[in-house]
Amino acid sequence: MAGNDLASYLSDFGAQPYGDRWVLEFGYGVRYRARLVLVYLGAFMNYAVILVDFPTGPKYLRLDRYHERHYLAERIYLRYWNQTDWHDCLDEVASPTSDGSQWTLHVDAVQAEDASENDRQIMYKALYACKKDDTVLSHQLLAVWYRL
């Protein structure tokens, strides 16, 4: 996806914690077979080129991790995606998208959201079990559910 194809995702960026409609549709990972093609370790950044076997055919993507850029330091940045050849992910001069957009993946936030989702699932199962038994829910249990 690039340029105008990403526009439909922007309106949901603030609605989903640490993510957008991509997270809602695909979760935090790629659900197809993925293979590591190349890893580059540099002085100011590292990157990995990954091949993903999508139903529409294999595509390459590149994840960067910068050490020096202030606004991207220590974050994973999706620089290239939907490339048909791995060589297309290596160009350091060209902009990876026509509009120059950047997609930063905040790993710590993803892990925090994953832990919260785990808590929500545990709470949902506890509430569902109470509903089956016609048990009256405690105020503390309801307060925790509302907080989640």
Neighbours of 80 (CB within 10 A): 23
Q: Can you tell me whether residue 125 is helix, strand or coil?
A: helix
**pLDDT number for residue 2:** 45
**Taking the alpha carbons of 120, 24, 89, 59 in that order, is the dihedral positive or negative?**
positive
**pLDDT number for residue 77:** 74
- Extents of the domains making up the chain: 3-105, 107-148
Segments in the chain below pLDDT 70 = 1-31, 67-76, 93-113, 131-138, 142, 144-148
Q: How are strands ordered across the β-sheet holding 57-66? A: 34-41, 45-54, 57-66, 76-83, 103-105
pTM of the predicted model over 0.85: no
| Residues in a beta bridge with 36 | 50
**pLDDT number for residue 16:** 45
**pLDDT number for residue 81:** 78
Helix axes 139-147, 107-132, angle to 10 degrees: 150
| Residues in a beta bridge with 16 | 19
**pLDDT number for residue 17:** 44
Q: 41-64: per-residue pLDDT in tens?
A: 877 778 888 888 888 889 888 888
DSSP state string for 5-26: GGHHHHTTTTTBTTB-HHHHHH
